[in-house]
Amino acid sequence: MLTIIGLLSTTFGVSVASALLPLISVELFVVGLVLKEPEIPWWVLALVIAAGQIGGKLLHYYAARGSIRLPGLVRREREAPKTRGRWRAWLESFRENCRSRPVWAGAVLLISAVASLPPFAAVAFVAGWAKVPVTTFLLTGFVGRFARFGVLAAAPTAMTTWL
């Protein structure tokens, strides 16, 4: 039988892995863990998962900034852009909005961290590319992820006491 520390360590590892690989669902893991081990406080789970998620997403953030060199398998060789397409124009507009409106950038990060709309992995990458300050990314991302997973971890207990 795993101890609470062992379960929290496993939870941290799963949350980092799910931040890096979108095929891993930390949401399903949390619901299963809370149903199997209801004595773990919801806020402890939320703290551990938020820390793991932000740790994993920080790699996306720094990779987009160019601070981390990606392996050749996932790295594209840079070419001079031939034309300015719609997607490129949108990204440039987003980058400028992040620079000129830091509160707006924080709000987008917070909403994405809570709701995952747009997906937080994509927003983490674009935030790094747009050079959003790392403190803004860490603070809004952690608060948003804590809220998301706090609600998820508390939901089974709340439902059983409510019903």
> What rounded mean pLDDT belongs to the chain?
88
Task: Give the three-state DSSP class for 51.
Answer: helix
Average pLDDT over residues 76-101: 76
For residues 15 and 46, is the Cβ–Cβ distance under 8 A? no
C-alpha to C-alpha distance for 54 and 142, rounded to whole angstroms: 6
Residue 78: pLDDT band (50, 70, 90) is low
| More confident: 75 or 116 | 116
Residue 80 falls inside a structural domain: no
Q: Give mean pLDDT, residues 128-140.
A: 94
Is residue 76 situated within a structural domain? no
For residue 29, the enclosing domain spans 4-69+87-162
9-24 pLDDT, tens digit per residue, is: 999 999 999 999 989 9
- Does the pLDDT value for residue 130 go beyond 80? yes
How far apart (Å, rounded) are the C-alpha atoms in residues 87 and 94?
10
Whether omega for the bond prior to residue 118 falls within 30 degrees of 0, making it cis, is: yes
Q: Decide if 92 is inside a domain.
A: yes
128 belongs to a structural domain: yes
Residue 9 lies in a domain: yes
Residue 75 belongs to some domain of the structure:
no
Q: Indicate whether 34 belongs to any domain.
A: yes
Total of domains in the chain = 1
Place of tokens 């992040």: 98
pLDDT given at position 119: 92
pTM above threshold 0.75: yes
Tell which residue, 126, 117, 120, 155, has the closest CA to residue 140. 120
In a domain, 29, yes or no: yes
What's the pLDDT tens digit per position in 34-71?
A: 989 989 999 999 999 999 999 999 999 999 998 887 66
Contacts (Cβ under 8 Å, ≥6 apart) of 5: none
Q: What one-letter code names the amino acid at 132?
A: V
